[in-house]
Amino acid sequence: MRITIKLFATFRIGRFAEVTRDYPAGTRIADIIGELHIPEKEVGMIMLNNRHAEPDQELHDGDSLALFPLVGGG
């Protein structure tokens, strides 16, 4: 199945802004986060097809996954 992955802010450093890749059925968001070597505790927001998602959600062909880092400041 083909999944489009979009990374934002610091997650792009040394990676990419957007890419479409093939994954086997049953792939979860957490699997992709791990593949990208992003510590799950650094993920601030996950959007799947423009809706909030959780790391344990399974992906489906044609999904669009966006990962945002935690934002600090004050």
Q: How far apart are the first and last CA of the chain?
A: 41
Q: What's the confidence (pLDDT) of residue 37? A: 97
Residues in contact with 38: Cβ distance below 8 Å, sequence separation at least 6, in sequence order: 11, 67
* 60 domain residue, yes or no: yes
Q: What is the pLDDT of residues 1-16, one digit of tens each?
A: 999 999 999 999 999 9
- Domain of residue 63 covers 2-69
Q: Does residue 53 lie within any of the structural domains?
A: yes
pLDDT digit string, tens, across residues 30-55:
999 999 999 999 999 999 999 999 99
**What is the rounded (10 degree) CA torsion for 53, 57, 61, 66?**
30
* 49-to-14, 73, 74 alpha-carbon distances in Å: 24, 28, 30
> Residue 61 is part of a domain; what is its CATH number?
3.10.20.30
Identify the pLDDT of residue 71.
Answer: 82
Q: Output the pLDDT for position 4.
A: 98
- The owner of tokens 């957007």 is 18
Q: How many domains are there within the chain? A: 1
Residue type, 8: F
